[in-house]
C-alpha cells in the first residue's frame, strides 16, 4: 500500500533525477548551440530513448501519486520494452565510444578508453538488472518501486560525470543518491527495506570498485575483446 510519504518521496526522487539529467546533458544535447556540429543519428536516438526512461519514471510516480494504478500498469509494459532498447543502445554506444577513443570518467582519473569502457558497462548492467527485478516484483509495490528507483540511479553517473565538478563530487553525488532509499526507510518505516540495503550497497561498491578494476591488465584484455 502506497502511503502519502511514499508518494511524495518517489515523485521527489523522479524530479531530482530529471533535473540531474537535464543539467548534465544540457550543453551537449538539450540546449546544444544552434551552430554546433550536428550529432549523429545514433547519438540522437540514444539520447531520446534514455531521456524517455526519465520521463516515464516521472510519469509513473505521478500516476501512482494520483492513484491511477491501471494506467501505471499499462505503461509498465512500455517501460519493459524501453529497457530492452536501452540495453541494446547502451552497449552499442559504449562500444562505439571506446573504439573512437572516448574516455568516460576522465574527471575521476580515468585515463584511457578501454579502462573507461567499464563505466557505461557497469551502468547499463545494473540498470537492466534492477529493471528485471522490478518487473519480477511488480505485484509487490514496496519492492517494485525501490528497484525501479535503483535502476534510474544507475543511469545518473553519465549525467553527473558531465557536470563541471571534480570527480570526488560526482562520487559523493552517486553515494547520496544510493543512500536516499535507506535514509527514507529509516525515517518513515523505522527499518531499511532489503532492496534499499542490498541494492544501495551494490550500487556504491560497484561505483567505487570499477576504478581499480579498470586499471588492471585483465580488464583491458576483456575490454579489448568486447570492443574488437
CA distances, 67 to each of 73, 80, 178, 179 (Å): 11, 21, 27, 27
Alpha carbons 215 and 27: distance in angstroms, whole number = 30
- C-alpha cell of residue 113: 578508453
List pLDDT tens digits, range 88-105.
999 999 999 999 999 887
How sure is the predictor about 136, in pLDDT bands with cuts at 50, 70 and 90?
very high
The residue with cell 570527480 is 167
Number of compact structural domains in the chain: 1
- Mean pLDDT confidence for 51-58: 97
Tens digit of pLDDT for each residue in 172-221? Answer: 999 999 999 999 999 999 999 999 999 999 999 999 999 999 999 999 99
Domain that holds residue 107: 4-227
pLDDT score recorded for residue 2: 64
What are the pLDDT digits (tens) for 9-53?
Answer: 999 999 999 999 999 999 999 999 988 889 899 999 999 999 999
Is it the case that residue 80 has pLDDT exceeding 90?
Answer: yes
| Distance spanning both ends of the chain, measured CA to CA | 49
Least confident of 11-25, 56-70, 99-113: 99-113
> How high is the pLDDT of residue 110?
81
Tell if the pTM clears 0.85, that is, is over it: yes
- With a cut of 60, say whether residue 1 has pLDDT above it: no
User: CB within 8 A of 79, min separation 6: which ones?
Assistant: 53, 56, 60, 131
Among 7, 2, 21, 42, residue whose Cα is nearest residue 153: 21
Amino acid at each position: 500500500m502506497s502511503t502519502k510519504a511514499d508518494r511524495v518521496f518517489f515523485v521527489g526522487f523522479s524530479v531530482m533525477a530529471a533535473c540531474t539529467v537535464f543539467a548534465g546533458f544540457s550543453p551537449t544535447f538539450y540546449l546544444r548551440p544552434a551552430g554546433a556540429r550536428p550529432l549523429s543519428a545514433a547519438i540522437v536516438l540514444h539520447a531520446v530513448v534514455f531521456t524517455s526512461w526519465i520521463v516515464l519514471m516521472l510519469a509513473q510516480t505521478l500516476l501512482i501519486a494520483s492513484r491511477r494504478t491501471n494506467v501505471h500498469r499499462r505503461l509498465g509494459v512500455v517501460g519493459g520494452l524501453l529497457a530492452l532498447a536501452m540495453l541494446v543502445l547502451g552497449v552499442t554506444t559504449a562500444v562505439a565510444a571506446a573504439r573512437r577513443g572516448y574516455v568516460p570518467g576522465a574527471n575521476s582519473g580515468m585515463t584511457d578508453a578501454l579502462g573507461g569502457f567499464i563505466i557505461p558497462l557497469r551502468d547499463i548492467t545494473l540498470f537492466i538488472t534492477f529493471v528485471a527485478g522490478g518487473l519480477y516484483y511488480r505485484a509487490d509495490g514496496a519492492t517494485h518501486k525501490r528497484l525501479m528507483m535503483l535502476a534510474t540511479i544507475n543511469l545518473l553517473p553519465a549525467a553527473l560525470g558531465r557536470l563541471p565538478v571534480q570527480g570526488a563530487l560526482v562520487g559523493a553525488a552517486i553515494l547520496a543518491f544510493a543512500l536516499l532509499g535507506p535514509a527514507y526507510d529509516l525515517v518513515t518505516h523505522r527499518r531499511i527495506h532489503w532492496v534499499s540495503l542490498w541494492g544501495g550497497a551494490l550500487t556504491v561498491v560497484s561505483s567505487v570498485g570499477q576504478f581499480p578494476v579498470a586499471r588492471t591488465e585483465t580488464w583491458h584484455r576483456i575490454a579489448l575483446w568486447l570492443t574488437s
